[in-house]
Structure 1
Amino acid sequence: MTINIEKLALLARIRLNLREKEAFKKEFGAILDYISELKKADITGISDESAGKNVLFESAGREDEVNYESGKFSKNLLEEASSVEKEYIKVKHILN
């Protein structure tokens, strides 16, 4: 598979000099080689159901629980703010 770095740079809207183009070509080549290796992996015995799960979102050990009073951090933040109005931090108007 040939990698067209100029087209990728155009799509990404970035400018690359010759040295950067060569470096990117080498890096993209390594990434594509790695993906080719992943395609060769033996996944027999892995169910479709478990293949689609994202384990990062599963609880690793305990339930989440709140260990502080409600509004504690809001109170601290409001105390530190230079200007407060009706439990809101007042800031300079920056939008039209």
Structure 2
Amino acid sequence: MMEIIWSEETLKNYLKVIDYLFENWTKEVERFENHFNKLTDNLKNHVTICPKSKILNLRKCIIDENNSLIYQEINDKIFLVTIIDNRSFHFY
């Protein structure tokens, strides 16, 4: 099982999503957290389940209809690079 390592940006964006959901759709917080936790648990055993992103050596997973996780595998560790809003422009 691979180790998951969070970047500062991932943590910041994760908390931003949680804060936004608390302010606007409280019931959705648990749903988002469940999706995120299930995804990261799956990644530990199946690091390549998500497609490669536009950037070399990164992968992109859909967390929910609004958010995606960008990650990278390095030396048997999974580095969570960032969480992005699917509705925004991004280069991943």
Q: TM-score, normalised by structure 2?
A: 0.29
| More contact order relative to length (CA 8 Å, sep ≥ 6) | 2
Name the structure where strand makes up a greater proportion of residues. 2
